[in-house]
Chain A
Amino acid sequence: MLEIDELTVAYGWPGRPLVPAVRDVNLTVDAGEVVGIAGESGCGKTTLALAATGLLDPPGRVLSGSVRYQGTDLVSLSPEERRALRLSEISMVFQASMNVLNPVMRIRDQFLDGMAAHGVRSSEEARARAEETFDLVKIPRRYFDAYPHQLSGGMRQRAVIALALVLRPKLLFLDEPTTALDVVVQRSILQSLNDLRHELGFGVVFITHDLSLLVEIADRIAIMYAGAVVEEAAARDLYKKPCHPYTRSLMSAFPPIGGARQRLESISGQPPDMRHLPAGCSFAPRCPEVIAGTCERLDPPSIRVDGGQVVVCHLYSEKEARIG
């Protein structure tokens, strides 16, 4: 349904060199699938989502590659065409979007506005559809006429999700939708999202830094570091057998919640400054398994490991065996 092909996005301010944000990313999302994108702040995951949903504003620009939605390349469309697709086909829920609701407008007005922009003129129809979506997202209907500040954080997030779903899009991008929420509320919302997915059949791209969460809710996961995908696998495979050293360190940031308590080792350093990316593998300076002489000079190859797992690393060869 969605095919991202060698997408490269950068930010350019006048008079300064381009700062890469997304580098040669390939990603596909099939109908009804949940694809997770995990990475820390600055790895490019939000930029990727903005570019894919056509919401990337200058100074961000797509330098090359394509984002094909059901065959059509979104990058080549005009802003009006992209806007037409938004909400009705591809929708997005931003980070901390419970704060994105206009505090001086009632919730219903924000819904009606959005729907009117997509041709749902009659307000009775719009209201009916919106209230139906509210039911699906498990918000009591009475909040429809309320102001955002009258709802709790969790409710507001549900409202924003409802807004994103009201025109029944086929693909939903979620960027850290539950980060600011308590764990019980988070789980409820994710549960509702899952139920909705079964009912409405949309695909989901779920972006977060919380890898432990993704392992539970995603079908496939892509790990991003410094603007590039370093590993991609089915969620369960990724958890059982993380191949890329960065994936392993990301996993250890989420210690297990049961079993024998064991010390995990952390890696030092920080993600690179995107303005001064090192040659070769961008993770080499911090990698505990770096191959001296190779990793800092050559770009790591993309290797297919058994079971459909893809890892971008010098430690693996085409023979699907680990080297070094």
Chain B
Amino acid sequence: MSPRALLANRRAAVGASILGFFALVALLAPLIAPYSPSDTNSTPMLPMSAKHLLGTTTNGQDIFSQLVWGTRTSLSVGLLTGTMICLVQLVMGVFSGYVGGKADTTLSSVTNVFLVLPTLPLLIVLAAYLQGGSLLVLVGVITITGWAWGARVLRAQAIALRDRPFVEAARISGESRWHIVLAHIVPNMLGIMVANFFGAALFAVLAEAGLEFIGLGDINSVTWGTMLYWAQNSEAMLQGMWVWLLAPGLCILLLGTSLGLLNFAVDEIANPNLRRD
């Protein structure tokens, strides 16, 4: 599965472009944003203008700067959480599936328990319970609720791979279990793992935005989700400040879409049966 294959796929190209765009914005935030996002010195509730591209909030903060700085946080939290989820899935899914036996039975029972718990209520309950929500708490909460489904998929694939002759040959060659998982199992299911990562990151971005929107995130941080929270709290729609809601909402939508597209695209590349174009 090469980078070239990735770019040749239309879905991947679109998804990667959007993601790349956001990454660039996040990296160059200090250069792009005209104001500091927490700076409340501007006149509040200004409409879109040359000085304030997206207007200002009810507190006098520049919405455009907030959006740009928020990109950095939203993106990094989303990708970080996605990574954490994948690490948990590596142990609970891939490793468990490979080793089999009692360890697998135990670990997959745990997975099944988490699968059964309803995600949304669990997210909300955990986030509310662990108050003082810093972003790291958010990462933790989303990871705990989001790993189970993908772990099941990865476990199934690992089980299929474990019986392949080259894996058995690695056992006979004296390789340790973890070495086999990392050197043979994972690379041979890389397509699924990458697609799974994008799926996890998508879940993370949406969960993060969702939790922040209902105020369970760190309301003092600047992310797209908290922008939505503040906009909602300040009754932005009633005041005609639709940009304040639309801008971060659109960004969440676009980032989510890009991750979703990449998820499908990698799935397609890894599994030729799914290819359509």
Are chains A and B touching directly in their complex (CB below 8 angstroms)?
Answer: no
Report B's interface with A, CB cutoff 8 A.
Answer: none
Report A's interface with B, CB cutoff 8 A.
Answer: none
